[in-house]
Structure 1
Amino acid sequence: MFLWAGNKATDRYLIRSPSYQKPREYDVLDKKKTVTALKAGEDRAILLGLGMVVLSVMMYFVLGIPILRSYADRVWTEETSCTVVNSTIVCDVNCSYSCGTECRRSSRYPCLQVFVSLNSSGKVVRLMHNEETQDRHAECFYIPKCRSDYAAMQVVVQNISERLRSQHRVQCFADPTDRMDSAILTQMFGRGAVFHSLFWPTCTLIGGTIIIAMVKLTQYLSIMCERVSPIKG
């Protein structure tokens, strides 16, 4: 009788013992899945951080350094008040525009000449829209985008001329050394352009570095916790 009872108890133990092992196996599997998911998330975060760092370096070389160099080499640095002396359309200038793939057509735009008097020195100089105008066509104040419709470009230039005449006095930038007999209305490479060309790459670089540092810190703390857990157990 006792032997039968003993065998029965043993059978029950053998029947129940796998049921106690299943939760442990599930816990191990869940832990492995969690660790795998965390590792994949950490890898993606590190890739994101590295991508932001690389992008910031490229932005420095493509935008920051060229704009900073142009800002350092600029000629028209003295901001002063200019009085418009004359604003007239003197001639037409030939230009070309794209009409499709490997297709170029000729057109023309009116050349607006503007002369101003520098209130700081009283010198009369030619006024240009920005630094690019000096390189493309120094005789004209404004160079519109070349189009097939000449009448549309003429309306644009005529509106600019009338606006300058109505304002009569504008803020401009002159050459303090008097080497250039011209002034510009707006600066392409002013302090604002330099600020934005350096600010956004710097923010991207700091953001990427913070992401990488946070991931590495999380990994370090996780390793320390794993080392401390067996000691407590």
Structure 2
Amino acid sequence: MHHQRSFRKASAHCTTGCRWVSSSGSNGGRQIPHSSDRMFLWAGGNERRSIYQKVREYDVLDKKKTVTALKAGEDRAILLGLGMVVLSIMMYFVLGIPILRSYSDRVWTDETSCTVVNSTIACDVNCSYGCGTECRRYSRYPCLQVFVSLNSSGKVVQLLHNEETHDSNPECFYIPKCRKDYAATRVVVQNISEHLRSQHTVQCFVDPTDRTDSAILTQIYGRVAVFHSLFWPTCTLIGGTVIIAMVKLTQYLSIMCEGVSRIKR
């Protein structure tokens, strides 16, 4: 009877197609998984590992792309900062130093009130203008002479437009651009003369040492010109230096953070 029951149980197990087999003895009646199930579990584990590796590779690739983009941005920022520093140095040499030197060497430093005594066109002065490559033509412009009386001392001196007028032609108040049309130039000079007569009193700059018998109406190399010639190069220099310093600070902090994260791992 015992053998018949065992045979029925075994046949029942076979007919149902169960993948579990019973064993006796040392296993104590425990069920052991079939070999095909073990292969399925192993294949599933490999699949999970391959998916994890792909995700890991994508993460590493994204990190590499991010690092590359950040590196390129940092390089551009450093180049921008260096360019600004170089530009500021060039501006110092081209604008700042010459204007500052002209400001220190200027003669007409004191500002005073001047009364216009006489404003007339004295004569015509010959001039030349360009008409193309290696081509020069000649014309003329009216020489306007203006005399003023200094209200501070009562001295009568000749009035000039600015420092460059004194260097070009100290006999004329204003030197217009040489043109082919002399009539148009004369109209411009006459308008200036009438404007000075209508004002009667103007502010002018004089030489306090009385080395020159002239005064100027406007200053080219005044305090405003010196301020702008030094202010903008200084701002450019500071901006370029700050950009370079910020990039270097960011790189230093990123290296520190990376070292701390490695220590924690």
CA distance in 2, matches of 1:58, 1:3: 82
What corresponds to 1:147 in structure 2?
A: 179
Q: How does 1:41-190 map to 2 (within 5 A)?
A: 41-190=73-222
What corresponds to 2:67 in structure 1?
A: 35
Q: Which runs of 4+ in 1 moved over 3 A?
A: none
What corresponds to 2:23 in structure 1?
A: none
Letter in 1 for 2:138: S
CA distance in 2, matches of 1:172, 1:56: 34
Letter in 1 for 2:161: H
CA positional deviation for 1:15: 2.9
CA distance in 2, matches of 1:38, 1:15: 35
CA positional deviation for 1:11: 1.9
- Tell me, what secondary structure is at the counterpart of 2:177? coil
CA distance in 2, matches of 1:15, 1:58: 64
CA distance in 2, matches of 1:20, 1:220: 33
What corresponds to 1:7 in structure 2?
A: 39
Letter in 1 for 2:193: S
Q: TM-score, normalised by structure 1?
A: 0.98
CA positional deviation for 1:16: 3.0
CA distance in 2, matches of 1:15, 1:190: 81
**Between 11-20 and 211-220, the greater mean CA deviation after superposition:** 11-20
Aligned partner (choices 221, 230, 239) of residue 198 of structure 1: 230
CA distance in 2, matches of 1:141, 1:76: 15
CA positional deviation for 1:81: 0.4
Q: Which has the larger radius of gyration?
A: 2
What corresponds to 2:31 in structure 1?
A: none
Letter in 2 for 1:102: E
Count of aligned pairs: 233
CA distance in 1, matches of 2:47, 2:246: 49
Letter in 1 for 2:102: S
Letter in 1 for 2:215: A
**Gaps (5+ residues) in structure 1?**
none
